[in-house]
Amino acid sequence: MLTVLGFAPFYLFPVPAITLAVLLGFCHKSRTSLQAALLGFCFGMGLFCAGVTWIYVSLHDFGAMPMSAAVTALIILCAYLSLFPAFSFWILTKFRRTSPFVWASTAAALWMLFEWLRGNLFTGFPWLTLGYSQAPFSPLAGFAPIIGVYGISMVVVFSAALLFFWIDKGLRNWRYGLPLMLIWFGGFGLQAIEWIKPLGEPVTVSLLQGNIAQNMKWRDDHLENTMETYAKLILESDSRLIVTPEISIPLFSDVVPQSYLSHLAAHARNNNGDVLIGLAERTTDDGDDYYNTMFSYGSAPEQRYRKHHLVPFGEFIPLKPIFGWVIEVLKIPLSDFSRGSLDQQPMDLAGQRVAINICYEDVFGEEIIYQLPQATMLVNVSNDAWFGRSIGPQQHLQISQMRALETGRYMLRATNTGVTAIIDERGRVLQTIEIFTTAALHGLAQGFTGATPYVRMGNYPVLGLAGLILCIGLISAFRARRKTL
């Protein structure tokens, strides 16, 4: 549970390295594989039960799920997520007889591989990946443009293992302390490398926060107020790029009054720019196929981006013959979207090439880079009103900070209730506005060109490194076993 302090809104980045050092110490001294697995499972339950409590808010407060069912669903999810550290520790005990450095490297590789598996299996749930805790203030954030969030997870666990051995063997034994310091100072040094370069002059942007209550958003009697709110915010902005949140207007695009859109498009053209508006889009007359889409209006030709990575049970129902009943339990409008294509290209807007990602999509860095290095900046639109006043929106902000670090691009976040923010290419929040207020965030955003190593290669290098470490560990474990026999 203490590990959650490493993540937003606390940002105490040394904490995960310390808690993992304690955990790895228990694991190294565990007597059996089952004991080690139970340690990993209990650690996971503490981490996830404390760190993703916002899921209860989504299910119960806004999804109308009964309290007992929401609590049960949360516990089941946390138990599933806890299986990943449990299995990694169960396997790690097989390397007990190897040298401390081999054991530490193997622990880091296994942890990272199981985090990556958690982020991909069954569409993935990479929330609270350990590497996020290091964005943006930790020296280890310097590794983000090279090895991404999963690589940073591996570095954190390796550091934690070295810390354990350094304390266990005595602080005067610099055999473990020196590499630990070199890693952290090395990360600090990497932050001085300029992987990308500015492109042109900064562009004026306005990120709109309509603050539409989640329980009012889909009510017919509140629709006019919602449309007036966003029209007012748009018309008051003289920025070249204006961004509204995810499905800011709760209508299908084909039924939005054309006079409304034309008026907003004309205003964007007067600004020599464009406005992005979130709408639901249907492609069939019966409405069975519909998308979570961002439309552009203004100086550039109309463009659209359809959300690709959907939230299970929130935006689509997996295995409908088995889980179709969930639609009746959760009172979530439009809960079975279709997927947009993964290879969508950046939009040409306000003189920039803008890579759009909608809400949950920015959790998947390996998918964000599909639009790079062509894109000059990133835009994330979300509706984190589903999380209420929990720590969920702040954690989501930190995830966006990691995407900015990995790609070397500004990340512009326009959200319904917050956290709306301008994040620079180093993951720093330059501007933000108070959550749960109706406001527009006006500022400047710099476009960038070039590609970081992570943009060019994604997760492949760190996955290959983990595989190599495991091969070395297996050879070492085999030799150690032969010696004991």
Cα separation, 404 vs 325, in Å, equals: 39
Pairwise CA distance, residues 278 & 293, whole Å: 6
Q: Which residues does residue 441 pair with via DSSP β-bridges, in sequence order?
A: 207
Q: Is 320 a catalytic residue?
A: no
Instruction: Give the pair of three-digit tokens for residue 81.
Output: 């997520």
Q: Tell me the two tokens of residue 480.
A: 């150690």
Tokens 């983990």 belong to 466
The residue annotated as part of the active site, out of 115, 307, 361, 425, is: 307
Q: What is the DSSP code string of 221-239?
A: HHHHHHHHHHHHHHHT---
**27 in catalytic set:** no
Cα-flanking dihedrals φ and ψ of residue 203, to 5°? -110, 140
> What's the Cα-to-Cα distance from 366 to each of 183, 403, 456, rounded to whole Å?
24, 10, 11
Please provide residue 385's backbone torsions phi and psi, each rounded to the nearest 5 degrees.
-60, -25
Q: Choose, from 49, 115, 359, 361, the residue flagged as catalytic.
A: 359
CA distance 112 to 470: 12
Sequence letter at residue 242: I
Residue 161 tokens read as 């293992």
Per DSSP, helices labelled H in 305-353 are 320-323, 326-329
Q: Which of the following is catalytic: 49, 217, 246, 425? A: 246
Two tokens, residue 302? 């109309």
DSSP category for residue 256: S
Question: Who contacts 336 (Cβ-Cβ below 8 Å, separation ≥6)?
Answer: 315, 316, 317, 327
Catalytic site includes residue 217: no
Please list the active-site residues.
Answer: 246, 307, 359
